[in-house]
A and B are shown apart, each in its own frame.
Chain A
């Protein structure tokens, strides 16, 4: 289920980007709803190298998330929310470290592919950030907090499940938990930044 929904979003985003950037087609984007379930397609996902242009999507997501996390109580006080550079560094450095970790543990997925998957799976959390900002426009009481909590938790679960579905398959079976845990930690930290965002 998560894989289907994620692949549909990737198709839409890529169609947008293909028109503007003319990036070449890769089998990632040719996945339809039914094809994602077919084992040979899964084989092609894992072993076809993706061109580096595919990191544009994650870059756009990362920049928009970092921008939306600004305008919090970061301007006047020292101990405010994360700066733009901090969000950027956390997302990219975190993705690189998780990819290195999974490769060092014996994973067979390629470096850029793993970065791409982790980057795209930030999309649900970016949507959560958007929803949170809209809810905060309405008010910042307990009700709004509960709504934000539910939305962020749901999106965090979706991100983690979607990226785990892609990345855990390429690991030997007795090390799957070792690879999944850092992914969980990564999205937990991003979710925490989103949930604790307080407007000035």
Chain B
């Protein structure tokens, strides 16, 4: 029969004291299971993933994503919310431009330069500059090509500015939107390590367009070979930045889809360059003079050789 004392709650002594009191008692020790953190698990599987972690900086990326969440906490109808997208200094913008022009092999543009502080200043003003640079350079190039021809009357071609603006801003905003939507969709199917926010993608695309500004100025030179070399060169530079940024995001996916995505990114980038070259810059004339055909009513017609 249990006494009242037995029914009272008894504090259990420390295991060591109990054992000291009763050395022959059987003891069972329960250890906590060893937790393998995700990084190491990945490392055990594929040693090639190490550079991913270096690229991603997984340690501070968690921290910075937390900070990013804290930063943009102002409601979207206040002015302060939009000010967070312009929180860059001059040297940061210049660094980002440099990073987009000189791709460092193995380094990711977003993690290295943007670091969860995407800005809208760079994309917006680079696009604006590019629009006017292409329009002005195209106009100047056409002027120099057709200079000296008696039938040529110079026109400023102002219509082309609106067309250039529509094209370039559409590329800089709609393509990132489509890419972001696509990556989100794939993310729901395949667990990716890397995922970018919409603004980071806009940022990468905006800064990657910077190389086309000096390219457009150099396109004034009326030589076909020079122009195409410039296209290839600038495409390689900015294309490689884009590829190195987005490859880690699609690498875990089905091989074909990954390659198709990266291929589409480069293709659209190339299309923009070639399209601008074809539309805004007339083909340079060949060196021999155009034949003059006297028409039957006495006026001369000069045919243009394309």
Which residues on A are within 8 Å of B, measured CB to CB?
A: 72-74, 77-83, 86, 101, 103-106, 174-178, 181-182, 185, 188-189, 192-193, 196-198
Residue pair B158, A79 in contact (C-beta under 8 Å): yes
Of B89, B128, B139, the residue contacting A196 (CB under 8 A) is: B139
In residues 151-193 of chain B, which contact A (Cβ within 8 Å)?
A: 153-160, 162
Report how many residues on chain B are interfacial, defined by Cβ distance under 8 Å: 26
B102 at the interface (CB under 8 A from A): no
A198 to B139, CA, bound (A): 13
Residue pair B132, A79 in contact (C-beta under 8 Å): no
Of A104, A176, A182, A196, the residue contacting B86 (CB under 8 A) is: A104
Residue pair B155, A79 in contact (C-beta under 8 Å): yes
Chain B residue contacts of A193, Cβ below 8 A? 156, 158
Of A83, A104, A175, A178, the residue contacting B85 (CB under 8 A) is: A104
Query: Which A residue sits closest to B129, measured CB to CB?
Result: A185
A-B contact count (CB 8 A): 72
Chain B residue contacts of A176, Cβ below 8 A? 90
Which residues on B are within 8 Å of A, measured CB to CB?
A: 79, 82-83, 85-86, 88-91, 93, 121, 125, 128-129, 132, 136, 139, 153-160, 162
Q: Interface on chain B toward A: helix, strand, loop, or mixed SS?
A: helix
Given contacts A181-B125, A189-B132, contact A174 B156 (CB under 8 A): no
Given contacts A178-B121, A185-B132, contact A78 B90 (CB under 8 A): no
Residue pair B125, A182 in contact (C-beta under 8 Å): yes
Chain B residue contacts of A177, Cβ below 8 A? 90
Query: Given A176-B90, A198-B153, 16 other A-B contacts at CB below 8 A?
Result: A72-B156, A79-B155, A80-B155, A81-B155, A81-B156, A104-B86, A105-B121, A106-B83, A174-B91, A178-B121, A185-B125, A185-B128, A185-B129, A192-B136, A193-B156, A198-B154
Query: Which A residue sits closest to B162, measured CB to CB?
Result: A86
Chain B residue contacts of A73, Cβ below 8 A? 153, 155-156
Chain B residue contacts of A105, Cβ below 8 A? 86, 121
Of B132, B156, B157, B162, the residue contacting A197 (CB under 8 A) is: B156
5 nearest A-B residue pairs (beta carbon):
A104-B86, A196-B156, A79-B157, A174-B89, A82-B158
Chain A residue contacts of B79, Cβ below 8 A? 103-104
29 contacts between A and B (CB under 8 A): A73-B155, A73-B156, A77-B155, A79-B155, A79-B156, A80-B155, A80-B158, A81-B155, A81-B156, A82-B156, A82-B158, A86-B162, A104-B79, A104-B83, A104-B86, A105-B86, A106-B86, A175-B88, A176-B90, A178-B89, A178-B93, A182-B128, A185-B125, A185-B129, A188-B132, A192-B136, A196-B156, A198-B153, A198-B156
A79 to B152, CA, bound (A): 14
Chain B residue contacts of A79, Cβ below 8 A? 155-160
Within the complex, what minimum Cβ distance (angstroms) separates B164 from chain A?
Answer: 12
Chain A residue contacts of B157, Cβ below 8 A? 79
